Amino acid sequence: MNNVLAIDIGGTNSRVGLFDEQGRRLMITESETRRDGGREWMQEHLVKQCGDLLAKSDYPVKACGISFGGPVDFQRQTVTSVHVPGWKDFALAEWGQNAFHLPCQVENDANAGALGEGQFGAGRGTNSLFYFTLSTGIGGGYVADGRIVRGRDGVAGEVGHIPVSDSGAPCSCGARGCLEVFCSGTAIAERGREWGRRRPEGVARMIELSAGQVEEITAKTVALAAAEGDPTAVTIMKEVGRWLARGVLTIVRIVNPDRVVLGGGVSQAGVVLLNPVREALQEFESPTIKYSTEIVLAELGTLSPLYGAAAVALKLSGN
């Protein structure tokens, strides 16, 4: 028996885990990312957290997979963070190899999420799946026959940056009119706040759930209010679902995967998000171009990228 080490570095939370040969989780530690600590804080933190797990492992640990929440140059195994200082072109896999004395490989969090759900979650048993990570922004990963489709420049699957409108706020990528601007977690929160500024009486429940402050409304509080049936929150989630459905249908039209998996923090909203997406897809239906791609929620929740990192490590270790 052997085990593997998995690491998920995110802008809000980071997780480390020990997994067995079958990809079963043995131990997981989760902590908040201290953004102001930059890269150095994260490195020290990981050395400690992973050191604890390695010390507790009953079997030899053979490899390490890392999911990184930011652009990853897979060929060079370097990462860059747009939110946290110190990560520009950082050779993360090489650092991991030296820090943990293990073979190490890095994937971006969307690809890792796709691998995690594909092997251990909602994509089990499929030949192809497209994974959406819905959080602050929107990312995507496409797995076909067990392999990530990367494309010529390694940017295949960047579904959040499909242009869907001539208008809209500037996107985090520097372009305009991207899908992400209309249905990311940031967009959901912003819609809630906009309603709150214009008609606070119409969003009383959302404000109540957000510490009484319009500016504290988040995607989570909008989703919670929608789950309770709050009419304004339901309207927001319907609009968001409709935009997201356009992205999903674009993917279905291009690669027609077995399954589309909706993951990331925003997908924790559950049916409040999934139902509007499915309803909009029915509305967009073509009587002639039929498809049987299933649209489902991620099964591993916020742990999809960590499981994906474990999948990467298992492959590295020859499993």
Applying CB under 5 A, which of residues 84, 114, 122, 171 lies at the interface with Zn ion?
A: 171
Give bridge partners of residue 68 from the DSSP assignment.
Answer: 9, 108
Give me 99's structure tokens: 């820090």
Confirm or reject binding of residue 173 to Zn ion (CB under 5 A): yes
Give me 119's structure tokens: 């092997």
Q: Which CB sits closer to Zn ion, 138 or 203?
A: 138
Q: How far is the CB of 265 from Zn ion (least distance, A)?
A: 19
Q: Which of residues 89-118 bind Zn ion (CB under 5 A)?
A: none
Give me 285's structure tokens: 């239906």
Q: Which CB sits closer to Zn ion, 180 or 230?
A: 180
Q: How far is the CB of 178 from Zn ion (least distance, A)?
A: 3
**Which region, judged by CB under 5 A, interacts with Zn ion, from 31-39, 108-116, 153-161, 188-196?**
153-161
Confirm or reject binding of residue 178 to Zn ion (CB under 5 A): yes
**Which region, judged by CB under 5 A, interacts with Zn ion, from 58-66, 90-98, 157-165, 262-270?**
157-165
304 sits in which H/E element: helix 304-316
**Which region, judged by CB under 5 A, interacts with Zn ion, from 91-99, 122-130, 159-167, 245-253?**
159-167
Residue type, 304: S
Residue 107 to residue 79: CA distance in whole angstroms:
9
Q: How far is the CB of 171 from Zn ion (least distance, A)?
A: 3
Give me 227's structure tokens: 């789950």
The phi and psi torsions of 269 (rounded to 5 degrees) equal: -60, -25
C-alpha dihedral sign at 257, 291, 238, 177: positive
The total number of residues shown for the chain amounts to 319
Q: Which CB sits closer to Zn ion, 104 or 171?
A: 171
Q: Which CB sits closer to Zn ion, 63 or 189?
A: 189
Q: Which CB sits closer to Zn ion, 161 or 193?
A: 161
CA distances from 119 to 36, 165, 261, 285 (A): 35, 35, 13, 30
Residues touching Zn ion, count (CB under 5 A): 5
Q: How far is the CB of 314 from Zn ion (least distance, A)?
A: 33
- Count of CA atoms in the C-beta half-sphere (13 A) of 168: 23
Confirm or reject binding of residue 161 to Zn ion (CB under 5 A): yes
Q: How far is the CB of 175 from Zn ion (least distance, A)?
A: 5
The angle subtended at Cα 64 by Cα 49 and Cα 318, nearest 5°, is 150
Q: How far is the CB of 169 from Zn ion (least distance, A)?
A: 10
Q: Which residues bind Zn ion (CB under 5 A)?
A: 161, 171, 173, 175, 178
